[in-house]
Amino acid sequence: MPSANPSVRVSRRTLEDLQRLREALGARTVDETIQRLIRERDSSVPNRMFGSGENRVSKFRESDRLEAHD
């Protein structure tokens, strides 16, 4: 079972970057900042997995129906 207050070692530069990001996001803690980054990443997974067919797929036309290809 994980500890209630685990420690994570990061470089000084990473900590400074997280603190700047925390201020930019208006987060109260570095932990909250990391949680926001995780949620943002998780919410964008479908877009990365499936992509967008925009500009690559033409609109469906009535002539595209299977019966029209006899």
What pLDDT was estimated at residue 15?
A: 96
- What is the sign, positive or negative, of the torsion defined by CA atoms of 11, 14, 19, 22? negative
Question: 10: exposed, middle or buried (C-beta count within 10 Å: 0-12, 13-18, 19+)?
Answer: exposed
Q: pLDDT tens-digit profile of 33-66?
A: 999 999 888 776 665 566 665 566 777 777 777 7
Q: What average pLDDT does the segment 12-21 reach?
A: 96
Q: What is the pLDDT of residue 50?
A: 65
Residue 32 has pLDDT above 70, yes or no: yes
Could you tell me if 22 and 29 are in contact, meaning their C-beta atoms sit under 8 angstroms apart? yes
How far is the CA of 37 from the CAs of 21, 52, 65, in angstroms? 10, 23, 44
> What is the predicted pLDDT for the residue at 52?
60
